[in-house]
Structure 1
Amino acid sequence: MNILYYYPDVLGYGDFYLLLPILESLRKKHKKDHITLASNKTIKSLIVNENIIDDWIEFQSNIGNQRIIDNIFHQFDKVYNLDIQRLGITLFFRNNMHFFDIMENDFEVKIDRNKFDSTFKFNLTSEEKDQVDKLILHNDKKNIVIHTGHSYKFPYGKTPNYEWWYELISNLSDYNVYQVGSKIAPPQPTRIMPDFDIKHNNIDLCDALSFRQIAYLLEISHTFIAIDSIVAHLSLHSMKRGIVLWGSSYVRTHGHEHNVNLEAIRHCGKPSCIDLGGMIVDDGTNLNCCLLPENQKPDSWPLLDEVIYELNNL
């Protein structure tokens, strides 16, 4: 049987990385079948165990239309649409189900959590590691990785504002601070990324590393501070313990117990914006998030003293 895994471009990188245990279980379920992944190159690069697929089709759904997608689907005997939002992940938060539990239920497989050490562990080449090692400062300071995200990148409300990050980084003079992420501005840009001349110890690595290399950077660093994102999930590569900030997303769904998870205060009194129960969160609903810069209050996000306290205890 010819099987297709379809992962649309509109979905996040972190969600695919978290699907790796599911894909390993599906491989066991379809041992004798031919499995093809349709995705972009970046998604394919997140595959740790290459045996979970037999073939790959480079596919960018945002440049095609439904007819093209349907034509591809018709070439296969079975299609697994990996659009997890279509599967209704946001419907389950009230039951405190974790991502892995939800995916097991939807794909009707069981995953082996005892094998997570190998499931999420990238096997980097010497060249990949050397490229990272050359960017690291060699001094007596500990290394910290940060990932801020963008205030106006959908879904909204996942990151503190510019002033919050500025104050934090200004208090990390005893560390080497490496910022990872993307400089690509969303439709409504914001100055979320701190100015790198605040301190001489801030190193801008945005758009400089692959996700595999970011996972390695986390591994060799003291710790990290990040929003709920692919960077936080990449801590599974080495089980690096870091501080993860949770705003409009739900820690009990996507969080990991090995990290320090700090939740924002939602003064609106409602559940997480992206967990309101709809299969897909509409832009208008999430745009009213109380954690957006123009809506948040001074105590919405974890206070600096709390973050520094947790940092000193790592």
Structure 2
Amino acid sequence: MKKKVLALAAALTLVAPLQSVAFAHENEGGNKVRIIQYWSAEDTHAEGVNSHLWIVNRAIDIMSRNTTIVKQEQVALLNEWRTELENGIYAADYENPYYDNSTFASHFYDPDTGKTYIPFAKQAKETGAKYFKLAGESYQKQDMKQAFFYLGLSLHYLGDVNQPMHAANFTNLSYPQGFHSKFENFVDTVKDNYKVTDGNGYWNWKGINPEDWIHGAAVAAKQDYAGIVNSTTKDWFVRAAISQEYADKWRAEVTPATGKRLVEAQRVTAGYIQLWFDTYGNR
């Protein structure tokens, strides 16, 4: 009971309404600080406002170009059940239990502490691995619709920890408020500059356990956290409330680390999907 009370108290704090100024780089309606935190997933099937989907699609492209590790019938399956896969990717941010009553606690994982930002809550490593395994169980039962929905969910949590803020428990309510969501809106505007065009996924990257892959992705992402969230970018983000110059400056400052993370996310995701097929489909 004590754990539930503490978690509930944290959740109530997080969903309290907040006000925010309109930033010079604002390109969305309204001025509320949103609780939602993600590589964007604002439309089920539209890559332009769904970085999660963009990363997964680019990972599938990597797999389609590989003729030594990847069986092309696996790529065909991914394409055949693409709607279910995309529904899973999207549902993680918009349906319970996946979005944790709007706290998104399970979408975060700090590899140094092994925890999310709410005490006692489930984190991305265990949640992503859970749906990886449920996807495999459904696949072996020939329930393809459920299998690829669950796989989409698992890929969403993997995608989250590839984002440095998620790997450092820096939420949309962390100071400066709104930086998290504005950063991810910015990612949508530059991601096409970082498409991987070869067939080199991170095959056999972290062994055979999905937990190890999610942990490894979070470790790599957190190493780039300081290139995105630091005293300079925070200051410039705050100044961007009244200055387009500073809006441009913080975006330019975070671009190198952002590009690196996007490239690695595509390669890790390709390897993770291949791990799933190797675990459940290639026996």
Report the TM-score, using the length of structure 1 for normalisation: 0.29
Higher alpha-carbon Rg: 1
Higher helix share: 2
- Give the number of the structure with larger relative contact order, counting CA–CA contacts within 8 Å between residues 6 or more apart: 2
Report the TM-score, using the length of structure 2 for normalisation: 0.31
